[in-house]
Structure 1
Amino acid sequence: MNRVLGIRRHPLKSAAAEPVTAAFVGKHGLDGDRTWTCLDADGTIGSAKQPRLWGRLLDVRAEYVPAQGEAGDVHIVVPDQAPALAGSPEADAAVSAWLGRPVSLTRTAPPQLRRHHWWPDEPGMIPEWAADAEPGGDAVVNVRSSAGDGRFFDFGALHLVTTGALDRLSAEHGTEVDPACFRPNLILDLPEDPSPGQRIAIGADLVVQVSVPTPRCVIPSLAHGPAPADRGLLQTLARHHRLDVPGFGRATCFGFYADILAVGTVTTGDQVAVTA
């Protein structure tokens, strides 16, 4: 029987994932997911897609504490430091010291979100829609037209991977690939990824619809907790997972984004059913 194997949220964009056993999925994604971001002095938001600037953020933990009827608190835990409340001077100081430059944590950002993006130099890792990008180069890119939903997503509100796709990737790569390197919200025990347009019923109420495969950047090759850095993973992905992203063009992809059709609570062990 197909089930939910893992649930992860990321209360602070590009910080370490927070594994949970249950979460409510509303129209904007998991409660507490990507509700905070780091704001740099140049007005860009923090993203480990430029690891030179933000790679160390992956070692920072963020823990969401739900609150009845209002936005919950997020506690920031920098290695070897006491927890601090996101939005406090203590949290800003701790993250700034860890990154080595002054940044501030915010859940309110300019309408136009921008971030730094480092383009990997492995062949096949630049998507067709960025054909002018320089391999190994840095660019400042627009994330979305607005942050009106109060979240800091690069694209979709819900990101999923399946055990079938992970097993095949591990075989292609010659070693087991930890799903943590793809930073999914949900890990589903399914034999393969559903196709765009297919619906997935999860648990009693949640229904999502696959939108597009997830284009990959440098992040899967970085260290994620116990999962070590592995630049060779990008070569494997580019060799075996160059796909058509509907409406955009070809790109190296893994996992998929999904739109939320019916909200509900997801719990590890929930039954999963894919429909046409």
Structure 2
Amino acid sequence: MNRVLGIRRYPLKSAAAEHIAEAVIGKHGLDGDRTWTCLDADGTIGSAKQPRLWGNLLEVEAAFNPSHGNSGGEVAVTVPGGMAAAAGSPEADAAVSAWLARPVRLTRTAPQQPRRHHWWPDEPGMIPEWAADAEPGSEAVVDVRAGAADGRFFDFGALHLVTSGALERLSAEHGSEVDPIRFRPNLILDLAADPEPGRRIALGSDVVLEVSVPTPRCVIPSIAHGRTPADRTLLKTLAQHHRIDVPGFGRATCFGFYADVLAVGAVKTGDPVQVS
């Protein structure tokens, strides 16, 4: 029987994953996922899609406590070598600012028009057709898609998933094992392949998802994620083997997929997975 292999939450956008054994999935994704972001001095939100500015944020730990506080829970933030501090406190702002070596502020309130810095990889095939005017190896400031109704800081979908079968094939194509951490998924499923858009996935006894679109990839899979070192050659493997047509958008290099939540509930590692 196919099962849920891993659950990962990112309480602070672009910070390290919180590996958890169970979670509640609501209409807008995992409870506590991407509820906070860093706000830079220029008003942009923090995203490791510009590693020069935000790559070190991937080493910052963020832990969601759903039982604490009156606004859906508290997030504790810890920089390497530091003490935990509550997101939104002066102590957390000071610690993250010192770690990134520039002043930032943690917030759960999006600017009126959220924008972020984006680095376009220079590897051929890594720029999607809908960004055909982008210059390889250049930076841009781009608008961020409007978040979910409860104020999450998603780039696109509320849930991002990868499958064990797709990871195994990518590792074979790349010639070495590829850690799923590079793709920052919410769920890792024991499936032979990624389900096609429109397919439904039942998790455990309550949760039902519907596959929306494959996930376009950026520079993030190639950079360092904590103890997982940078691998600049991974983008070449992705572009060579995983450039596909994204329905309604055009060709892009993709890995993993986004899913919408049709039925909410609790999910835990080991839960059965059924695709229909």
TM-score between the two structures when normalised by the length of structure 2: 0.98
Shift of 1:110: 1.5
Shift of 1:143: 1.2
- The residue identity in structure 2 corresponding to 1:109 is A
Q: Deviations over 1:72-106 (max 9, x none)?
A: 00000000111100000000000000001000000
Q: Whole-Å Cα distance in 2 between the matches of residues 233 and 243 of structure 1?
A: 17
Structure 1 pair 263–143 and aligned structure 2 pair: CA distance change class (3 A): same
Q: Are 1:106 and 2:92 counterparts?
A: no
Q: Are 1:50 and 2:58 counterparts?
A: no
Residues 113 and 146 of structure 1 are in contact (CA less than 8 Å); yes or no, is this contact kept in structure 2?
no
- The residue identity in structure 2 corresponding to 1:267 is K
Match of residue 61 from structure 1: 61
Residues 13 and 38 of structure 1 are in contact (CA less than 8 Å); yes or no, is this contact kept in structure 2?
yes
Shift of 1:149: 2.4
Residues 112 and 146 of structure 1 are in contact (CA less than 8 Å); yes or no, is this contact kept in structure 2?
no
Deviates more, 1:17-26 or 1:60-69: 60-69
The alignment partner of 2:73 has SS state of strand
- The residue identity in structure 2 corresponding to 1:60 is V
Work out the number of aligned pairs and report it. Answer: 275
Match of residue 235 from structure 1: 236
Any stretches of 5+ residues in structure 1 without a counterpart? none
Q: Are 1:257 and 2:258 counterparts?
A: yes
Instruction: List structure 1 segments (4+ residues) > 6 angstroms apart after TM superposition.
Output: none
TM-score between the two structures when normalised by the length of structure 1: 0.98
Q: Are 1:142 and 2:143 counterparts?
A: yes
Q: Whole-Å Cα distance in 2 between the matches of residues 153 and 270 of structure 1?
A: 25
Q: Deviations over 1:165-216 (max 9, x none)?
A: 0000000000000000000000000000000000000001000000000000
Deviates more, 1:11-20 or 1:105-114: 105-114
Structure 1 pair 4–146 and aligned structure 2 pair: CA distance change class (3 A): closer
- The residue identity in structure 2 corresponding to 1:182 is F
The alignment partner of 1:71 has SS state of coil
Match of residue 167 from structure 1: 168
Q: Whole-Å Cα distance in 1 between the matches of residues 183 and 52 of structure 2?
A: 19
Shift of 1:138: 0.3
Q: Whole-Å Cα distance in 1 between the matches of residues 188 and 195 of structure 2?
A: 13
The alignment partner of 1:57 has SS state of helix
Q: Deviations over 1:212-240 (max 9, x none)?
A: 00000000001112221101000000000
The alignment partner of 2:240 has SS state of helix
Identity %: 77
Q: Are 1:21 and 2:21 counterparts?
A: yes
Match of residue 190 from structure 1: 191
Match of residue 127 from structure 1: 128
Q: Deviations over 1:111-138 (max 9, x none)?
A: 3211000000000000000000000100
Shift of 1:244: 1.0
Residues 5 and 269 of structure 1 are in contact (CA less than 8 Å); yes or no, is this contact kept in structure 2?
yes
Match of residue 8 from structure 1: 8
Q: Whole-Å Cα distance in 2 between the matches of residues 148 and 115 of structure 1?
A: 20
Deviates more, 1:103-112 or 1:130-139: 103-112
Residues 28 and 148 of structure 2 are in contact (CA less than 8 Å); yes or no, is this contact kept in structure 1?
no
Q: Whole-Å Cα distance in 1 between the matches of residues 50 and 206 of structure 2?
A: 37
Shift of 1:38: 0.1
RMSD of Structure 2 on Structure 1 (CA) = 1.0
Q: Whole-Å Cα distance in 1 between the matches of residues 206 and 214 of structure 2?
A: 24
Residues 4 and 273 of structure 2 are in contact (CA less than 8 Å); yes or no, is this contact kept in structure 1?
yes
Shift of 1:147: 5.6
Q: Whole-Å Cα distance in 1 between the matches of residues 255 and 147 of structure 2?
A: 25
- The residue identity in structure 2 corresponding to 1:34 is R
Any stretches of 5+ residues in structure 2 without a counterpart? none
